Amino acid sequence: MQNFNTKVFLYIIPILLFFMIRENYWIDKIDETERKSKLNLSVELSTDIQIDNRERIEYEKMIQEDFIEPEGDNSDKNIAVEDVLEAGDEIKARFDQRLKILNRACTVLPQLRGANDLASHNQLIRIHRLVQDLVVNISMLNQNLEPFYKKKTILNPTQYPIIDGAGDPYDILYCTPPKCGTTSWKMGVQVLKDRRKGMGKKPESYIPRNLFYQKHVKPSQFSSDGNFNPLHGNITDWLKVLAVRNPWDRLYSAWKDKSRTFRFPNGTVNWDKAFRETTWAWGAENKSEYVIRELLEIGLNGHDIKFNASRFGIDQFETGPVPYTRRFTWEAMTRYVAQSTVGDELNQEHHWRTHFYHCGICSVDYNLITQLEHSKEETNWILEMKKWKEITHFGRQYTHERSAEEEQIVGKIWSSLSKNTLKGIYRHFWLDFVLLGYDVSKATDIINLGHD
């Protein structure tokens, strides 16, 4: 019997060893395939920007040599969600992606502020990509940012109060800098604020100019964890929204709007144009001509003072005559912004101050970012999620789609500027691009349109 057991044992052992070796081989093979897949994914992400070949090669080499397994569940976030998710889930995934980028960036904010000021243009491009590439571990990002550490942002107490919200039962806080669909958001959230008082209105019931002078909150008025302020109290469990816009489009919109003079060639005012194209007389359509004219005069006089080119020194960047239809030219304004001192927001008019400054990003605990380019679908998702569709609306008229004619216009707008000017504008709004989820291609596609 003992001889039999010995023979069986000797027979079984080779078979077991064969299967164990075979199993380990395929486990190793699968692990190696997954590792290479992740490496390939991180490298492929570098092809969406147009920087010099040397910079791209260095980045790919860095990824391959120093790649570290991603933390948490970040590894699947660069897969195209539209292929596997329904529309609502796709939008939710988009929000999640932006919030992960924001939270990741806020952990290295002092370094990012230093890089904004000190890094070369190619370094800004690289860091931009590293922050938003969630496949790359935070330690690699820290290595690239180590030389640029800067003290924590000190929020200016004189900052423009722009943050607003509505409390129980709606519990929403939002920040919309100028030229980000601000009017639409203000009217939509005002509905919620008034419903708390027992009033049932529609967004269209409000006159925008009456909403802009209500009491709002400054970022400097929030607690250290970004979840308490004197006006709204504890907002830990609130929906805290950043409603933002592509910095390129926002800057052009600010110039197009605020540089207008509403004058004829002889210097007289085109009151009909002012009435049609501004909000100065909104809500007074049924008033007398005298009342309408008075409102338009107040609006125009205020803009003539507020947006005078000499107030900020934009006039010093003019190289020729300024058309009678404009207070300052596009070329002068963009050169002014491009050459401004990074972070010196107080010397900027608030329509082209950064989102970062306006909203106290990383100081206020925002948990959702919606981009104006996708506002039509994203705000609809918010309204459905909060069950507000029958109550109010905001941002629904905006969409990211442009016609071929509009694309040509956009191309002409930016191709009229030099690459150096465009790089300066990119640096000015760099934190907005990085923190708010606008990827590198959104920057480089415009920069590449510039002339040498």
Same domain, 68 and 105: yes
* Residue type, position 407, single letter: E
Task: Report helix angle 330-338 to 247-258, nearest 10.
Answer: 130
Q: What is the pLDDT of residue 153?
A: 59
| Radius of gyration (C-alpha) of the chain in whole angstroms | 27
Domain assignment of residue 348, yes or no: no
Q: Which of 148, 178, 205 is the last residue of a domain?
A: 148
Amino acid at 351: H
* Residue indicated by tokens 């529309």: 87
Where does 136-218 have alpha helices with state H?
138-145, 182-195, 208-211
Instruction: For residues 123 and 56, state if they share a domain.
Output: yes
Question: Which of 148, 180, 195 finishes a domain?
Answer: 148
pLDDT for position 67: 38
pLDDT tens track for 308-355? 999 989 999 999 999 999 999 999 999 999 999 988 888 889 899 999
Strand pairing class (239-244; 172-175): parallel
| 54 lies in the same domain as 10 | yes
Domain that holds residue 83: 2-148
Is the residue at 432 inside a domain? no
Q: Are residues 247 and 376 in the same domain?
A: yes
Q: Bridge-partner residues for 418, per DSSP? A: 451
What value does the mean pLDDT take over residues 265-278? 96
pLDDT for residue 154: 59
Q: Which residue has the higher pLDDT, 409 or 275?
A: 275
pLDDT for res 80:
40
Q: What angle do CA 176, 181, 183 make, to 5 degrees?
A: 85
Same domain, 382 and 235: yes
Residue 66 has pLDDT above 60, yes or no: no
* Domain assignment present for 411: no
CB 273 within 8 A of CB 262: yes
Tokens 């912004």 found at: 337
pLDDT at 87 over 60: yes
Confirm whether 85 is domain-assigned: yes
Q: 74 or 362: which carries more pLDDT confidence?
A: 362
217 CB neighbour count, 10 Å cutoff: 21
Cβ proximity of 371 and 245 under 8 Å: yes
Kindly report, residue by residue over 360-369, the tens digit of the pLDDT: 999 999 999 9
Q: Are residues 210 and 246 in the same domain?
A: yes
Between CA 51 and CA 32 the distance in angstroms is 31
Percent of the chain whose pLDDT exceeds 70? 77
Task: Indicate whether 127 and 187 sit together in one domain.
Answer: no
Q: What is the pTM of this model?
A: 0.80
pLDDT tier at 157, thresholds 50, 70, 90 = low
Distances (CA, A) of 155 to 115, 223, 268, 411: 19, 12, 43, 36
pLDDT tens for residues 385-409? 999 999 999 986 655 566 777 778 8
In the sheet that holds 368-371, the strands lie side by side as 163-166, 172-175, 239-244, 368-371
Q: 244 lies in a domain?
A: yes
Average per-residue pLDDT for the chain:
83
User: In 3-state terms, the chain is what percent helix, strand and coil (to 5)?
Assistant: 60, 5, 35
CB 372: neighbour CB atoms within 10 A? 25
Which of the residue ranges 46-60, 219-233, 249-263 would you say has the lowest mean pLDDT?
46-60
Say whether pLDDT at 7 is over 70. no
Which residue carries 């107490």 as its tokens? 157
H or E stretch covering 76:
none
Q: What is the pLDDT of residue 225?
A: 92
Asked if residue 185 and residue 82 are part of one domain, the reply reads: no
Q: How confident is the model at residue 161 (pLDDT cuts 50, 70, 90)?
A: confident
Does residue 32 surpass a pLDDT of 70? Answer: no
CB-facing half-sphere around the CA of 376: CA atoms within 13 A = 6
Tens of pLDDT, residue by residue over 189-215, are 999 999 999 999 999 999 988 888 788
Question: For position 236, what pLDDT does the model report?
Answer: 95
Residue 74 lies in a domain: yes
Distance CA 63, CA 61 (A): 5
* Residue 120, C-beta contacts closer than 8 angstroms, at least 6 positions apart: none
Distance CA 82, CA 94 (A): 10
pLDDT for position 13: 47
The count of other CB atoms within 10 Å of the CB of residue 269 is 15
Residue 241 lies in a domain: yes
CA 133/CA 105 separation, integer angstroms: 11
Residue 151's pLDDT band (cuts 50, 70, 90): low
Asked whether residue 248 falls in the same domain as residue 396, the answer is yes
Q: Does residue 392 share a domain with residue 245?
A: yes
Q: How many domains does the chain have?
A: 2
Does residue 53 sit within a domain?
A: yes
Q: Residue 24: is its pLDDT beyond 80?
A: no
What pLDDT score was predicted for residue 208? 86
pLDDT of residue 401: 61
Which DSSP symbol is given to 256?
Answer: H
In a shared domain, residues 89 and 130? yes
Query: Which 3 state secondary structure label does DSSP give 222?
Result: coil
Do 76 and 137 share a domain, yes or no? yes
Mutual angle of helices 121-132 and 53-66, in 10-degree steps: 40
Cβ pair 424, 416 in contact under 8 A: no
